[in-house]
Amino acid sequence: SLKQDMAPSAVLQEPRTTERAVLQVAYGGKDDFGVTDMRLVITQGKESVELPLAIQGADPREVKGASYQDLTAHPWAGLPVELRAVARDALGQIGASAPVAMTLPERKFYHPVARAIIEQRKRLAQDSGASALLVARRLAQLMSQPDAFDNNITTFMALDFAIKRLTSDPMGKEELADVQQLMWDTALALEDGGISVAMRE
């Protein structure tokens, strides 16, 4: 009689954060007939994202590996999440590791306006529906203090655009992603001074 093919199993070790805020995960998967796919599933509230994990080792029945993921630009950076390693076999059967709770590593921002923008971006990531108007209001406060960002016209326009998007109805997932990306780019430009240096020159 054919041996019954059981679902694969997966393990995820306690994740670590490198000095540069990169997420480091060690994982493994086992299956009688071979693991064909491994993923890191990150869950925040009701949402989740899947990141592919490399399958290493000579024997596909027992795989392991380590992965470095720079998620500092992700809207969930700095928020509590759950991580799972998920293994899949040739039949499409899935096995998941026990969940590991952690706060996703985040980049540190020192420019006060950049930091404020990132704080609002995190708030938006936690619950876009409930917080869009609050975030728009907070961004409007930042916009009303242009001295805080050297009267930088690019920052001013970015904030203005973000406010208009956040207060327009209805805001879909794509619009939200656009706003979050814009907020990240604006904070990064303020922090790294790229824009303000160019503007002064």
Residue 68's beta-bridge partner residues? 24
Q: What is the pLDDT of residues 140-163, one digit of tens each?
A: 999 999 999 999 999 999 999 999
Q: Which two tokens stand for residue 147?
A: 């001295």
Q: What is the pLDDT of residues 4-51, one digit of tens each?
A: 678 999 999 999 999 999 999 999 999 999 999 999 999 999 999 999
pLDDT at 195: 52
Nearest-angstrom CA–CA distance, 44 and 76 = 8
Nearest-angstrom CA–CA distance, 183 and 162 = 8
Q: How many CB atoms lie within 10 A of CB 1?
A: 3
Query: Which of 5-19, 168-182, 183-197 is least confident?
Result: 183-197
Nearest-angstrom CA–CA distance, 31 and 88 = 9
Instruction: Provide DSSP, 48-90.
Output: EEEEEE--BSS-TTEEEEEEEE--TTSTTTTSEEEEEEEEEET
Nearest-angstrom CA–CA distance, 14 and 16 = 7
